[in-house]
Structures are given as C-alpha cells and as structure tokens.
Amino acid sequence: MADDVGVSAVDRVDLDRVEDDETLYRSVWLKEFCFFLDEEGVLHVSAEAFADRQHRPSVFRHHLCDAPPYSNPPRLNPDNAVVSLTAGRVRETSPISHQSGKQPVVLYVIDIEPDINEGQHRSHAVVYANPAFPNSNAFAKLKLRLAQLVEEWTIPPDAAFIEQLKQQ
C-alpha cells in the first residue's frame, strides 16, 4: 500500500496489544530440569522452561526484537536455547480450571500483555492469568500447557548438552 511507504514492521505492530498471529519467543536456560527426551529420543522443553516467580512467564514478541532470534532479547544468554509459540494458541489454553482444597473451582483466563516496565525491552511481554494464580499448583497447569504448545526450536540446545541429557 502507498500509505506504508517508509513505515517499518515495528511501526505496524500494536505496542499495546499482542495479536493472535504474533510469534513469541521464550529463552530457555540450559538446565537439565528444563528439558526431557521422550521415548524416541526427541528433545522437548519441560514445564520448568516456563517457570516464573510471579507466575507471569516472560516472552518476547518477534516483530519487536532487534535481530531475532539471536539478539538479546529474545536470547537472554548466549548459551540459552530459544523456543517459539504463537500468541493465539497460548490464548486458546483458556480457561484453566483449578481447585484449591475445598474451595470452589476457579476458571483462569490466559492472555498475553506487553510489559515494558522497569526498563524492559520493547519486545517484552508476559503470559498471565485472570484472576491471578493464587499458588504454584494452579500455575503449574499453565507451565505444562505452554511447554506443550512450543512450535519449534528456534535455537536448539547445543549437541553437547543434548548428549549429556541422553547419558542420564
């Protein structure tokens, strides 16, 4: 379109909303508990790859990263692996139901929001629940679903790390 002349892809991305078709990256530490090999020896991320103290896992929006996937962000450390997800598929995990003790079942709506507070990069976003997860047990369900939604290894772990996993 003529109106798009001189407009970059970053300018066309809504900074206030993460769209369903956006690719999201998650940087994964090379720690054994973040990965597992299935029966056929295929490498997967575990739910722990999405651990977060605040129950709001960080992701990075592809279109707002400087030079994805090798830039920082989304790759927060040169040794980290990077996986990708699609925002719409993350939202499709809703609702997540959880019951704590004898409390009624609560349905948690899952969404993604930009989070550039406290000096975060413009591509930073978080996956969150509404209402907020009250405990780690409820959050564990989201971590598992996110691990299952990983679409590809954008940057896989190096061969030496994978071999180390096979030796266990």
Mind listing the pLDDT tens digit of every residue in the chain (168 residues)?
Answer: 444 454 455 455 578 899 999 999 999 999 999 999 999 999 999 999 999 999 999 999 999 999 989 889 999 999 999 999 999 999 999 999 999 889 999 999 999 999 998 889 999 999 999 999 999 999 999 999 999 999 999 999 999 999 999 888
pLDDT for res 118: 86
3-state class (DSSP) for residue 146: helix
pLDDT at residue number 11: 53
Domain membership of residue 30 (yes or no) is yes
Establish if 144 belongs to a structural domain.
yes
Give the pLDDT confidence score for residue 12 in this predicted structure: 52
Residue 9 lies in a domain: no
> What is the structure's pLDDT at 19?
96
What is the layout of strands, in order, in the sheet containing 152-155? 96-98, 106-114, 124-130, 58-61, 23-28, 81-86, 152-155
Identify whether 1 is part of a domain: no
Domain assignment present for residue 2? The answer is no
Is 123 inside a domain boundary?
yes
User: pLDDT value at position 117?
Assistant: 87
Its domain, for residue 145, covers: 19-157
Establish if 120 belongs to a structural domain: yes
Domain count, the chain: 1
7 is a domain residue:
no
